[in-house]
Structure 1
Amino acid sequence: MEAGEFVHYRWHPCSPELGVLHARYRRHAFGRHAHSTYTIGVVEHGSEELSYGDDREYAGAGDVVLINPETIHTGRAMTGAGWTYHALYVPVGFVRSSLGEAPALTTRIADDPVARNALRAAVRAMDEDVCTADTLLCTALAHVFGRYGGHPRKQVQVRPVAAAARDILSDEHLAPPSLGELAEVLGTTRFALLRAFRATYGLPPHAYLTQYRVRKACTLIRRGADLAGAATAVGFVDQAHLSRHFRKTLGITPGQYRRAVQERTRSAG
């Protein structure tokens, strides 16, 4: 990690699947990735550039960043000073159980003092009793989704050939076929398959495979797997290979993720 950077990841006491990241990055740049959760954050200092395909957006100190689940994006510092932020990774199921629905967020960057202060209060309350933590989290989410939540999230139009390729890659992630082999099995061409896969999932097949492996490694680590074992179990060459892609995708190392899991287990006990 570069000098001046820090990362702290923990689990919210009200949900075993709601992660909270507090980090400062200067040189680190996120690769193209997506989360299965909503990403709702506040930039505390500095400024960040986010890209969504060909779109670029910029978040400065005090801005609230809102990203829908499964939205392909990247993030990097706009200047050498980097940026510091808090991010909540809120599961779709948690939003639905809290609000009765899981709408799409209609804004990516918001200058909203009420949302900003509510989210900050929700993060601070993680160290209070669970009733306070739960109440302030739901208060913040109610404001965010009440103001920026649109209609229920639309399902991506899934192209059958892309879905079939995704199933094969998921099932055979330890020894995946080549693009050519996939195309032959599915009765199409490499270029047609590549176009369909990108249009459906926002990533080429090999990048999707990396995302799948990282998410599967997260599951194994939460279940107590050691890092080297998790790496090889999902198809990475070794722990270093896992660590490189883990940080590129999530902004933290597998070791930091495991420590957050261990801290949650201790506090629950």
Structure 2
Amino acid sequence: MSKHHKDWIHHAPGTNSNRLERIEAYFAGNAYAMHRHDTYAIGTTLSGVQSFAYRGSERHSLPGGTIVLHPDEAHDGQAGTGDGFHYRMMYVEPALIQQILGGQPLPFVKEGISANPRLHAATLALLQRMDSPMDALEEQDALFDLAHAMHAISGKLAGDSAGSQRFDYLAAERAREYIHTAITDNFTHNITLEELAEHSGRDRWSLSRDFRLLFGTSPYRYLTMRRLDLVKSLLMRGYSLVNAALAAGFTDQSHMTKHFSKTFGLTPLHWLKMHGTNVKR
């Protein structure tokens, strides 16, 4: 790869879970502005130096290691040298990890980079054959190995006392499912924490704490992310920025663009350009 190589991104075919996104990409310089999303970002650098700011420090990923970015932790991305960087990454919904671990606090890899061989092997199993989908059972087995590898090496978040807290996984899951049902029926509906508490059977502040602990983000951020998922889908189908924003429940195009950029580190127009697609304004 030369420093003059054109940036590109390739999305692997859809997965069986539909909650696991796999990409392969190359960037020659600055890739992403500071942003945060509500999924794990787990992957490996194939060549070059992949640098990123994470939890107050600059990290540098080299081939052979594993990147594990916790949900809702701010980070950016850029090449650490003039040769650019080539990498593979997957974005895994915390709910998938929860289903495997049975309602435990989310695994947390403190430094954002790990040299653990078990975790690296589990990661590579899910980042193979980027031009074809994985078999359903193969994917499920690999996710099981990944979740348990992360759990085995994880540490607690700074200041976290989750080990001594009581939390209600089933109530948090009911609230998460309600968000999905509500936004499917009517994306413009303004869901309240009281509404989630009523449907989950948990008081609103305990539910808010449990949701963060078990799914890595707040209920509002989770709702916003589901709306952004719809925006991306509509833009790829040819919707204009303003129509996609309104259809997904944002007040206007500016409101959507602000959330999009903070979440993905790219503007909607830049994101579409990376996918070779033009959009109506």
Output the CA distance in 1 between the equivalents of 2:234 and 2:160: 32
Q: Residue 30 of structure 1 aligns to a residue in which SS? A: strand
Q: Residue 141 of structure 1 aligns to a residue in which SS? A: helix
8 Å contact from structure 1 (residues 45, 62) kept in 2: no
Normalised to the residue count of structure 1, the TM-score between the two structures is: 0.61
8 Å contact from structure 1 (residues 47, 59) kept in 2: yes
Are residues 1:227 and 2:234 paired?
A: no
Matched residue pairs, number? 207
* Distance of aligned partners of 1:240 and 1:110 in 2 relative to their CA distance in 1, 3 Å threshold: closer
Cα deviations by residue, 1:141-193 (Å, 9 ceiling, x for unpaired): 321232235479959xxxxxxxxxxxxxxxxxxxxxxxxxxxxxxxxxxxxxx
Normalised to the residue count of structure 2, the TM-score between the two structures is: 0.59
Cα deviations by residue, 1:86-128 (Å, 9 ceiling, x for unpaired): 1111111111001222233333111233322321122226634
1:131 maps to 137
Q: Residue 127 of structure 1 aligns to a residue in which SS? A: coil
1:61 to 60, 63, 73: 63
Q: Which runs of 5+ in 1 are unaligned?
A: 156-210, 260-269
Output the CA distance in 2 between the equivalents of 1:232 and 1:145: 40
1:112 to 93, 112, 116: 116
8 Å contact from structure 1 (residues 221, 227) kept in 2: no
1:23 to 11, 25, 45: 25
Output the CA distance in 2 between the equivalents of 1:135 and 1:76: 32
1:144 to 150, 153, 178: 150
8 Å contact from structure 1 (residues 27, 82) kept in 2: yes
Output the CA distance in 2 between the equivalents of 1:149 and 1:258: 40
* Distance of aligned partners of 1:135 and 1:25 in 2 relative to their CA distance in 1, 3 Å threshold: same
Output the CA distance in 2 between the equivalents of 1:86 and 1:112: 17
Q: CA RMSD in A?
A: 4.2
* Distance of aligned partners of 1:222 and 1:149 in 2 relative to their CA distance in 1, 3 Å threshold: farther
8 Å contact from structure 1 (residues 39, 87) kept in 2: yes
Output the CA distance in 2 between the equivalents of 1:138 and 1:149: 19
Q: Look up the equivalent residue of 2:32 and give its one-letter code.
A: F
Q: Residue 108 of structure 2 aligns to a residue in which SS? A: strand
Q: Look up the equivalent residue of 1:248 and give its one-letter code.
A: G
Q: Which runs of 5+ in 2 are unaligned?
A: 162-221
Q: Which structure shows the higher helix fraction?
A: 1
Superposition deviation, residue 26 in structure 1: 0.9
* Distance of aligned partners of 1:245 and 1:146 in 2 relative to their CA distance in 1, 3 Å threshold: closer
8 Å contact from structure 2 (residues 44, 87) kept in 1: yes
8 Å contact from structure 2 (residues 35, 75) kept in 1: yes
